[in-house]
Amino acid sequence: MSETLPALLGAIRYRVAMRTSPVPASPCLQQTARLSDLLSLGPVVLDGAMGTELDSRGVDTRHALWSALALTAAPETVRAVHSDYLVAGARVVTTNTYQATLPALLRAGHDAAAAREIIAAGVRLADEAARRFEAKHPETQVLIAGGLGPYGAYLADGSEYTGAYDVGIPEDSGFREVHRPRIEVLAGEGVDLFALETIPRLDEAQALVAMVKDLTPQAECWVSFQVRSDGAHLAGGHPLAEAAGWAEGEETVVAVGVNCVAPDVVGRALPVLRAATAKPLVAYPNAGDLYDPVTKTWQSAGEGIGIPELAPSWIAAGARLVGGCCRTRPAQIRELAHAVCP
């Protein structure tokens, strides 16, 4: 029988407080490794697309909430996708909360309390998948990254790929209401770190990191930017080198890089990043297809060199967190894991 949201929300919480939160953690959490610890040991494999997998399994994501719609419509499918990526070789799974924000959920007809519970469900589903995997593979540690998409994802108009949204950052109350409540919920549910994803603007990255530091002072995060095809500028126009230089000085940011760009763009961006920071680099591109924000669909860009084939060169260029974004699937993550962690 398909799970209902109330049943899911009544499930046991494995992590009641974030290990990096001011709230004391349970004894089991004190044994959880930090991302920085794992990165010191070598490359770490991330998961791949959530929306693509949901679509392939019959869950319609053509909605302003995108994949977050499945947190209420098909929670068991979300958990199954997380599980499949773990079996494929991912060791960090990102919560399905990229587009799950309080204002978006209110806009979709939920009240504030229900909206917060839906965001919390994103953590619990990832955590359930991780704990089940670890029970079968006790030698393996899985980390849960709280996914934080940009303001443009809330707008649901494709502007996360351009940074062209007219909002005051960080002072605008609407901007803060998109981000801050989600961070509060993710931290309260016990994520191990935060993933600031597809960020097209430096000022937004700075504002998000400031919120994370304010709410969970000991937290770790990675920041991955949306960049132009030259691999040298953020989508919003700032030089990528300037963004990397900022990340270098932020203790909270343990890795910095790019995501949801074409695979060939990664090779252009990594040298720019490495010249500006000594921190581990992040690379999880999409499959190279093109997104249409009007139809909310992806158009194939044809066959090119794939992520598993390119990943060893990214590792050589300083990438330590590698995975896939939109249009990538567990089979590619499995090939990627074999390529970088033979």
> 323-342, pLDDT tens digit by residue?
999 989 999 999 999 999 87
Given a contact cutoff of 8 angstroms between Cβ atoms, the answer to whether 252 and 221 are in contact is: yes
Query: What pLDDT score does 64 carry?
Result: 86
Query: What pLDDT score does 130 carry?
Result: 97
Which residues on neighbouring strands pair with residue 257, listed in sequence order? 224, 282
Q: What percent of the chain has pLDDT over 90?
A: 79
**Two structure tokens written together for 137:** 């593979």
CB neighbour class for 267 (10 Å; exposed up to 12, middle 13-18, buried from 19)? middle
Query: What pLDDT score does 61 carry?
Result: 87
Instruction: Tell me which residue has tokens 């994803």.
Output: 197
Q: Are strands 253-259 and 221-225 parallel, antiparallel or unpaired?
A: parallel
Delimit the domains of the chain by residue range.
Answer: 35-340
Comparing 68-72, 87-91, 99-103, 175-179, which segment has the lowest mean pLDDT? 68-72
Query: 39-78, pLDDT tens digit by residue?
Result: 999 999 999 999 999 999 999 888 888 898 989 989 999 9
CB neighbour class for 213 (10 Å; exposed up to 12, middle 13-18, buried from 19)? middle
Per DSSP, the residues of 157-220 read SSGGGT------TTT-HHHHHHHHHHHHHHHHHT-SEEEEEEE--HHHHHHHHHHHHHH-TT--
Cα separations in angstroms, 147 against 92, 188, 282: 11, 14, 15
Query: 239-259, pLDDT tens digit by residue?
Result: 999 999 999 999 999 999 999
**Two structure tokens written together for 212:** 């994370």
Nearest to 49 by CA among 289, 240, 311, 232: 289
Position 19 pLDDT exceeds 60: no
- The number of beta carbons lying within 10 Å of the beta carbon of residue 237 is 13
Instruction: Name the pLDDT band for 301 (thresholds 50, 70, 90).
Output: low
Given a contact cutoff of 8 angstroms between Cβ atoms, the answer to whether 244 and 206 are in contact is: no
Residues 6+ apart with CB under 8 A from 72: 5, 118, 121
What's phi and psi for 166, nearest 5 deg? -90, 90
**Two structure tokens written together for 156:** 């649901």
Q: What is the mean pLDDT of residues 231-235?
A: 98
Q: Up-side HSE of residue 107: CA atoms within 13 Å toward CB? A: 15
Whole-prediction pTM value? 0.89
Position 297 pLDDT exceeds 80: no
| Cα–Cα distance measured from residue 70 to residue 54, given in angstroms and rounded to the nearest whole number | 8
Nearest to 286 by CA among 229, 201, 210, 211: 229
Q: Coil, strand or helix: which one is 47?
A: coil
| Domain 35-340 listed as CATH 3.20.20.330 | yes
Instruction: Tell me which residue has tokens 């001011």.
Output: 22
Query: What pLDDT score does 340 carry?
Result: 92
Comparing 28-32, 131-135, 172-176, which segment has the lowest mean pLDDT? 28-32
